[in-house]
Structure 1
Amino acid sequence: MKKKLGLLFSSTLSLILLAACSGGGEEASSEDFASADDNTLTVWAWDTNFNIPIMEKAGEYYVQDGNEEFKINIVEMSNEDTKQKLVSGFTSGVSEGLPDIVLMDDYDVQNYITNYEGKFTELSEDIDFSQFAEYKVDNATKDDGVYALPFDSGSAGLYYRTDYLEEAGYSQEDMQDLTWSEFVQIGKDVKEKTGKWFVAFIPNRGTHYIQMAMQSAGLWYFDENGDIYLKDNPAVREMAEILKEIEENELAKPVDYFAPEGIGAVTSGEVAAVNSAIWFSATIRSAEDQAGKWAYTNVPQLETVETATPYTNLGGASWVILEESPNKDLAIDFMKTEFAGNDEFYQDILVENGAVGTYLPSQTGEAYQFEDPFFNDAPIYKDFSEWMAEIPGVDYGNNTQAAVDALRSVLQGYFDGSMTLDEMLEKAEETYTMQVGQ
């Protein structure tokens, strides 16, 4: 009989250590930090519907695999709080105020492993990284070391309402192999003939569209030297024009795409299409009355970039182990056993949590052959996982958020005609340079 894990769970959003860092506040509970108990691991992660229950399940499997005394203490911590507390701990030098394992957004990994050298455990001697999606490993690599264990995929596609598209005159065959300009034209027809919004996001904050397009061509905000790369970046230029056209034609319901109002626009039937990752399929599926009305295909493809593909990523995270963890060896063995070696675990979290992992051997399992009745019996997990293997790897660099902020600060000026495309991108580069001092 399988033994049940005695789970220690804390939902405290703790404040780290030094109240002086924020000018006041309560000290964090010691239960939020790495334990002196050599059978216990403390993990910081966010999302009680996804990452946290998955880590709980990994702990249960580890107990079943013969580690009967093992306990896992999972602390719910937002991504922003996690980053703040890591920086506070690293700069104060008080390692006992930190956990053993941290969930880290992929866009932040390079920043942290580069700027906080020696704070994260190098894993290549313990983990076979050839078994993970290449683009995720590339992002976790610095020099010759790999400092994060890849977790979930942000493999992305275009979801669309077949009934709305049919009303606008488009079949599912018409939705295959689209370019971004064709995507916009379809949106115009959908709005004219159905009265529906085509998509839901705020165009002048639509950098997630730019990022999906860039990664699909193996490009990013920075060139091979790490310098800001906006004005001469063909993907940025093409997508700025696409976003402007979406704005001018009022194709997008102007709401934060990942806030409740953005999600609600999709689940209430207000929009016809969504470009997002596999993890968004759970949100779409939550609108049970829309079963059979959704289909999916690859994201649209760039026309002006020779390296363009229809494969890209949005979001996703990886696990890092802190070098000064008092239980580092246990943490490595736990992650190696479950996240880098347990096919059954990955099949379980796919079925129960909708998590497409980036551990490649797991993707031949039966769960990946599941034909989803919500999507008219399409093998959604198989398709998105096959696309994942084709996603071009890019170096997210140390300052992705600064580049995002700089670009967002000037997009509206381009949309309203007060700046040309060149002027807008020049201004974005100047703003970035002022922010990061390059």
Structure 2
Amino acid sequence: MKKFFKLTTAAALSLGLLAACGGGQDDAAPAEGDSEQIGSEDAEVELVFWEFGNTGYDVLIEQYVQDNPHVSINLQNSDMNDLHDNLFTSISAGSGAPDIAMVETGSIERFKTATDAFENLYDYGAGDVEGDFLEWVWRDAQSADGSIQFGLPTDIGPTVMFYRTDVFEEAGFESSPEAVSELIQTWDDYREVAEQIHENTGALMTDAAELVFNSRRDQATQQYFNADNELIVDEHDQIKNAFTYTAELLQDGLVGDIPLWTPEWFSGMGDASYATMLAPAWMQGVIKDNEPEQGVWSITTMPEGAGNWGGSFLTVPSETEHAEEAYKFIEWLTAPEQQLEAFLGYGLFPSAPSVYERTDFKDYTDEYFGGIATAQVFGEAATQVEPVYKGRNFYPVDDEFKEALDNLAAGSDVETEWEQALERVSRILERQ
């Protein structure tokens, strides 16, 4: 479970990527955390909204209850994993679920199996706003046959290539985002540049091999499962190619195997020990917290496209007595206008592409990253993500391939590790 812990910790460290859920039942039992009543005590309808992360939604909720004084919101913030566990317990018991529940994108499949436990948002008008969102994001919260919409998308985590300008310059390359994007258009280019950087500076190309694997995996049009939850890694070569490519970089000493979220990993952001970081939009805050010098790190596109790491959905558990009011609120909160405010105020990257064309968004720059228009870079990445079915067993299976990469770092054989990972995956699926 080590790798899964890394992933969920990443989300917890984000700029407020994810939020939680809320409900109107008196016996609702969220994880321990902060609670805030927003709106009149005399409001006709109270909606309990569980959230996790630093979203800034309390500010937006103040706007909503002013315009809708018959509604109050009981906003309850707690740990993401605790929230998911409590939500699962509540819907399993048929008691204690909230009116509105925020579910992280990596956990949505876990809840999609409980079709009777959530309102189908198509019944409340979700089809009218479907076009407001990126197609791949919308599909992530949809049933396999497209008949049920479990949640409305909030923010996302499109992936890009963060890079150190000083390392590229020391290796003899131009360091502007345009020059680096032109230099590294393909994964073959990435390897060639890695070889030159290592030869000329001694630096690794990137910190953690698993981020290279993640990047290529997330660009794949097919991953571990098909829509029937059947394992398909032997039916196509995209995951095998991602694994082999990463393994070769690792074995050639061009990328590191530094565990994410460790002191060594954090310190590497400031000591120029690696040249690039393949990561999502919310990693901006993590880099700033660990490398205070401005103008050293910059941002450009990844080779051959982009993926997504993070984001969440607002769902309406079926126990609610206020489904109509809950839906109206989440439709408002996820509308492009509010997504723009959440981005400008708290860095939540919008899942509504119309925001990318707005002046306030396009003109957004960040002096820390050299004054470039960072929002535009992430917006371009978001539109490149390919929709792909992940399945409810995505993380347990993914963990096994990450474990195989760890074993390779210790000197194991590529083909042996691949086959052994498949054997472990088979045993996991047999127990499901």
The answer to whether the superposition gives a TM-score over 0.5 is yes
Q: Which amino acid aligns with 1:101?
A: I
Deviation track 1:157-210 (CA, whole Å, cap 9, x = no partner) reads 101111210101222424434322332332343334334443222x3xx1x543
Q: Which amino acid aligns with 2:405?
A: L
CA distance in 1 between counterparts of 2:181 and 2:349 reads: 24
Instruction: Give yes or no for the alignment of 1:428 onto 2:421.
Output: yes
User: Do the aligned partners of residues 427 and 229 (structure 1) sit closer, same or farther apart at CA in structure 2, a change above 3 Å counting?
Assistant: farther
CA distance in 2 between counterparts of 1:435 and 1:148 reads: 29
Q: Could you say what secondary structure the match of 1:151 adopts?
A: strand
CA distance in 2 between counterparts of 1:69 and 1:262 reads: 49
Q: Could you say what secondary structure the match of 2:73 adopts?
A: strand
Superposed CA RMSD in Å reads: 3.2
Aligned with 1:322 (options 309, 317, 321): 317
CA distance in 2 between counterparts of 1:322 and 1:416 reads: 46
CA distance in 2 between counterparts of 1:72 and 1:258 reads: 34
- Map of 1:313 onto structure 2: 308
Is residue 43–residue 72 contact of structure 2 (8 Å, CA) maintained in 1?
Answer: no
Q: Could you say what secondary structure the match of 2:424 adopts?
A: helix
CA distance in 2 between counterparts of 1:117 and 1:77 reads: 25
Q: Which amino acid aligns with 2:82?
A: D
CA distance in 1 between counterparts of 2:174 and 2:31 reads: 58
Shift of residue 258, structure 1, vs aligned partner: 4.0
Aligned with 2:60 (options 45, 58, 67): 58
Q: Which amino acid aligns with 1:86?
A: L
CA distance in 2 between counterparts of 1:242 and 1:231 reads: 17
Shift of residue 419, structure 1, vs aligned partner: 4.1
The aligned runs of 1:113-192 (5 Å cut-off) are 113=112, 115-124=113-122, 125-127=124-126, 128-142=129-143, 143=145, 144-172=147-175, 173-176=179-182, 177-192=184-199
Deviates more, 1:310-319 or 1:130-139: 310-319
Deviation track 1:78-136 (CA, whole Å, cap 9, x = no partner) reads 23212221222222222xx22222221212212311x2111112112422111100001
The aligned runs of 1:187-336 (5 Å cut-off) are 187-201=194-208, 203=209, 206=210, 208-223=211-226, 225-259=228-262, 261-267=264-270, 269-286=272-289, 289-301=292-304, 310-336=305-331
CA distance in 2 between counterparts of 1:365 and 1:218 reads: 30
Shift of residue 296, structure 1, vs aligned partner: 1.9
- Map of 2:332 onto structure 1: 337
Shift of residue 287, structure 1, vs aligned partner: 5.8
CA distance in 2 between counterparts of 1:120 and 1:263 reads: 39
- Map of 1:111 onto structure 2: 110
Q: Could you say what secondary structure the match of 1:141 adopts?
A: coil
CA distance in 2 between counterparts of 1:366 and 1:321 reads: 33
CA distance in 1 between counterparts of 2:152 and 2:299 reads: 29
Is residue 212–residue 314 contact of structure 1 (8 Å, CA) maintained in 2?
Answer: no
TM-score by length of 1: 0.79
User: Do the aligned partners of residues 254 and 274 (structure 1) sit closer, same or farther apart at CA in structure 2, a change above 3 Å counting?
Assistant: same
Shift of residue 145, structure 1, vs aligned partner: 1.7
Q: Could you say what secondary structure the match of 1:316 adopts?
A: strand
CA distance in 2 between counterparts of 1:190 and 1:300 reads: 17
Q: Could you say what secondary structure the match of 2:131 adopts?
A: helix
Deviation track 1:280-328 (CA, whole Å, cap 9, x = no partner) reads 1233344674322232222123xxxxxxxx1321222222121212332
Q: Could you say what secondary structure the match of 2:155 adopts?
A: coil
What count of residue pairs does the alignment treat as equivalent?
393
Q: Could you say what secondary structure the match of 1:108 adopts?
A: helix
CA distance in 2 between counterparts of 1:430 and 1:89 reads: 35
- Map of 2:5 onto structure 1: none
CA distance in 2 between counterparts of 1:181 and 1:30 reads: 48
- Map of 1:3 onto structure 2: none
CA distance in 1 between counterparts of 2:423 and 2:291 reads: 47
The aligned runs of 1:395-414 (5 Å cut-off) are 395-414=389-408
CA distance in 1 between counterparts of 2:401 and 2:220 reads: 19
- Map of 2:14 onto structure 1: none
User: Do the aligned partners of residues 212 and 104 (structure 1) sit closer, same or farther apart at CA in structure 2, a change above 3 Å counting?
Assistant: farther
User: Do the aligned partners of residues 18 and 36 (structure 1) sit closer, same or farther apart at CA in structure 2, a change above 3 Å counting?
Assistant: same
Is residue 161–residue 279 contact of structure 2 (8 Å, CA) maintained in 1?
Answer: yes
Deviation track 1:370-406 (CA, whole Å, cap 9, x = no partner) reads 2333333322112311331231101111111121123
- Map of 1:4 onto structure 2: none
- Map of 1:73 onto structure 2: 74
TM-score by length of 2: 0.80
